[in-house]
Structure 1
Amino acid sequence: MASLLSRGLLALLLLSGLPVQAATPACDAPWAMWNTFAARWVQADGRVLESSLKANHSTSEGQAYALFFALVANDRERFAQIWRWSRENLAGNQPGKMLPGWLWGQGTDGSWQVQDRNSASDADLWFAYALLEADRLWKNPGYRADAQALLGQVKAQEVAELPGLGPTLLPGPVGYVQPDHLWRLNPSYVPLPLLRRLAAADPQGPWKGVLQSSLRLLREGAGNGLAADWVGYRGTSAKAGVFTRDASTGDLGSYDAIRVYLWAGMTDPGDPQAAAVLSALQGMTRLTAPSGVPPEKVAPGTGAGQGSGPFGFSAALVPYFMANGQPWLAELQERRARRELDAAVQGSRDPALPSVYYDYMLSLFGLGWHDQRYRFAANGQLKPSWESECSAKAP
């Protein structure tokens, strides 16, 4: 049945008359999606708007993702602005002493400042990764120094030795160690390409161990081929432990977990663990193929799906379906994402409608990858489309 469905959907795509494959962008070709995003969501001072559900608030995740996209776009000016704002406002201008606070905005007293000092380790890894690669690609040692300083704090505050699991990335410094030898972990916080790059950049650090524990989290923390938003890990003895359902969110995979498929799809097939991670995540294909639309929520414990995911979910799944050898499903998601993207951006300007920031951000990742704006090498290095022809050019 899947074969018949795939042929039917592919036929519809071909009849649309639209090109199936995207051409590699020229060295100096502007990335229209990024320019639209930056104009809509990035202030002149480098602050990223609407990355929090709280009004007038911004998050470290939004800042870190935008930093990465600016690098992919070879947008050096915005990269510098985004990092400067993040460094000054989230990390107190001293990344070697303070992790970036995850939430910044206007408090009840009217002041604009960090509203939650706890850090988000996924944002911290994306910050460090973008800074390391900006130094490598743009030859800016100041960025490398900041990355190394930030990683020092990540190692000190966000990496813990878990029984039977080894060095493990916690989602943040505070709130993820539970009573009775229980930890809360987030599978979407550990993209393999980033961990590969950190292990190479800091070979004396814990990153090889974090990579191994993350692989176990991705493989053993999934159920019925589906990723959960949050996973529990309970130490059963001094040297052993088991993955469990998260006590707070239960049997749920949704807006966090969609990124697990995205990162898996973008991992270079030459990575020795790429195939194993994809193999553990086959449930999303089973739930998407019948209707062509991914579910909004899944239950890894039962394998069931519920609802229709927004267009950002479709964009995030484009690399995943391509990596799985399912171009018909990938193209179906790409068409859907592009069709809804522009209209959603225009609609988001209406204050009565919800923000589409997260869907657009997922689209930058998934559609940018589809359009060959960037790739991750097997060693984790970023391969932007402009690198070969443009890397020697002055900004």
Structure 2
Amino acid sequence: MMFGRTRALAASLLLGLFLAPAQAAAEPAPTEAKPAAGAPLAKPAPGAAETLSMLNSLGHAWAWRSYKARFVTDQGRVVDTANGRISHSESQGYGMLLAVAAGDRDAFQRIWNWTRANLMVRDDALLAWRWEPDKRPAVADMNDATDGDILVAWALVEAGEGWADEGYRLAARRIAVDIARRTVLFRTEGPPLLLPAMSGFSAEDRPDGPVINLSYWIFPAFPRLAAVAPEFDWDRLGAAGRDLVLRARFGEAKLPTEWISMRGGQPQPASGFPPHFSYNAVRLPLYLAMAGIGERRYYEPLLALWSEPDPAGLPIIDTESGSVAGRMAEPGYAIIPALAACAVAGAPLPAGLQDPAADENYYPATLHLLALTAANMRYRPCLGR
């Protein structure tokens, strides 16, 4: 999902684009058994972390109640409070994931019902990316946002496994199949690439295309999508993303920009976008940690950037000049550096970050709860447990 100032710039690429229908997909066999909460779901590949169930993994009932009261309407719309109170596929997917992590099936079903009714309005199984409460029609742009599609599909897999509901798994499969068919470039030469949307970012759409956003590689989701759409090589897609985390390091700080041109196979900051490490890219260490990836090399530039905590907030870095272009000032963002240090070195999460603030906006609040979920699932010693 595009966030903050970046979202408005990217949106101009996405307006008015309508998509072709997807082919029908075969459905998977029913799930045989319900896994225990937090238990491994499958034997991992050599060198990979275990795939764990998210059900009941948040471990913080008060934080979920507060989040739900502030951001989830009675109808199941997850509200982006810092962005005109819109909703989008990203917010719905995050809300569904957190509902599973909180073990709140009623909230999950309400969020999923609203998502189906309001965002699944295309001719395929992907979601329209933006819903505006003060506009009619509320969905003016039929393009998707691939990270939102992935989040919703991932949440449905978690719900299907955790609550033994085959309907959720079948819905997840339909979305996963169209993600793979329509937004992943599975190339015969070179690694696969994940486009940020079906339209607007390919080599046909942009002179510097294909253009990618590394924060759309949601690493913990790929093994789960493989469970419902095994005919696609999700492992290879994840490996391509991890490789790009190491290669897409720009400027003296060696940080990724939000938007990256892959024309010619060599990552470069994409044209037409500020060359910033900002609100999108800050999710990279979160997704790496949630996937159980703790090798220091993936986090090294970020650990250097965040080596000294700054009460003003996490810096937004202009990779071209090396200057600080702004701050992510809300307190929830501070858990991302703490989780990275935990995943790499086992550093304890500061006690002040283990209780989310009750007055921050949707996006930092969401990242905060996801980071606590990751810590509770994979890094409990960092919580002092």
TM-score surpassing 0.5?
yes
AA paired with 1:366? A
CA displacement at 1:66 relative to structure 2: 0.3
**C-alpha RMSD of the superposition:** 2.9
Change (3 A) 1:258 1:175: same
2:162 alignment partner, one of 137, 141, 148: 137
Give 3-state SS (helix, strand or coil) of 1:115's partner: coil
Counterpart for residue 212 of structure 2: 185
TM-score (ref. length: structure 2): 0.74
Counterpart for residue 76 of structure 2: 46
1:369 alignment partner, one of 360, 374, 381: 374
Change (3 A) 1:199 1:98: closer
Counterpart for residue 116 of structure 2: 87
CA displacement at 1:58 relative to structure 2: 0.9
Judge conservation of contact 1:107–1:113 (CA < 8 Å) in 2. yes
Judge conservation of contact 1:226–1:282 (CA < 8 Å) in 2. no
| Cα distance in 2, alignment partners of residues 367 and 30 from structure 1 | 8
AA paired with 1:365? L
| Cα distance in 2, alignment partners of residues 34 and 200 from structure 1 | 28
Give 3-state SS (helix, strand or coil) of 2:276's partner: coil
Change (3 A) 1:105 1:291: closer
| Cα distance in 1, alignment partners of residues 374 and 191 from structure 2 | 32
CA displacement at 1:88 relative to structure 2: 1.4
Deviation readout 1:78-121 (Å, 9 max, x if unpaired): 101111110111003x8x8341101012454xx35322211111
Change (3 A) 1:230 1:120: same
1:125 alignment partner, one of 146, 150, 156: 150
| Cα distance in 1, alignment partners of residues 188 and 324 from structure 2 | 33
Counterpart for residue 316 of structure 1: 336
AA paired with 2:158? E
2:222 is the counterpart of 1:195 = yes
Judge conservation of contact 1:222–1:280 (CA < 8 Å) in 2. no
CA displacement at 1:359 relative to structure 2: 1.5
Deviation readout 1:268-297 (Å, 9 max, x if unpaired): 15xxxx52xx41331222222234455321
Counterpart for residue 279 of structure 1: 297
Q: Which one has the largest radius of gyration?
A: 1
Identity, % of aligned pairs? 25
Counterpart for residue 21 of structure 1: none
Give 3-state SS (helix, strand or coil) of 1:249's partner: coil
Give 3-state SS (helix, strand or coil) of 2:211's partner: strand
Counterpart for residue 16 of structure 1: none
| Cα distance in 1, alignment partners of residues 130 and 341 from structure 2 | 33
CA displacement at 1:195 relative to structure 2: 1.4
AA paired with 1:335? G
Counterpart for residue 167 of structure 1: 192
1:150 alignment partner, one of 175, 197, 212: 175
Counterpart for residue 281 of structure 2: 257
Structure 2 unaligned residues grouped into runs of 5+: 1-55, 380-385
2:314 is the counterpart of 1:295 = yes
Give 3-state SS (helix, strand or coil) of 1:281's partner: helix
2:270 is the counterpart of 1:246 = yes
| Cα distance in 2, alignment partners of residues 28 and 215 from structure 1 | 26
Change (3 A) 1:56 1:360: closer
Change (3 A) 1:296 1:27: closer
| Cα distance in 2, alignment partners of residues 41 and 365 from structure 1 | 15
2:234 alignment partner, one of 207, 225, 241: 207
What are the within-5 Å matches in structure 2 for residues 12-91 of structure 1? 31-50=61-80, 53=83, 55-91=84-120
Q: Which moved more, 1:98-107 or 1:61-70?
A: 98-107
Counterpart for residue 345 of structure 2: 325
CA displacement at 1:205 relative to structure 2: 1.2
Change (3 A) 1:324 1:194: same
Give 3-state SS (helix, strand or coil) of 1:297's partner: strand
| Cα distance in 2, alignment partners of residues 267 and 56 from structure 1 | 30
Judge conservation of contact 1:91–1:99 (CA < 8 Å) in 2. yes
Change (3 A) 1:250 1:33: same
| Cα distance in 2, alignment partners of residues 70 and 126 from structure 1 | 13
Change (3 A) 1:51 1:101: farther
Give the structure with the larger strand fraction.
1
CA displacement at 1:338 relative to structure 2: 4.4
Change (3 A) 1:299 1:76: same
Judge conservation of contact 2:58–2:101 (CA < 8 Å) in 1. no
| Cα distance in 1, alignment partners of residues 72 and 248 from structure 2 | 35
Change (3 A) 1:30 1:320: closer
Corresponding residue pairs, total: 319
| Cα distance in 1, alignment partners of residues 200 and 110 from structure 2 | 31
AA paired with 2:68? A
Give 3-state SS (helix, strand or coil) of 2:124's partner: coil
Change (3 A) 1:47 1:149: same
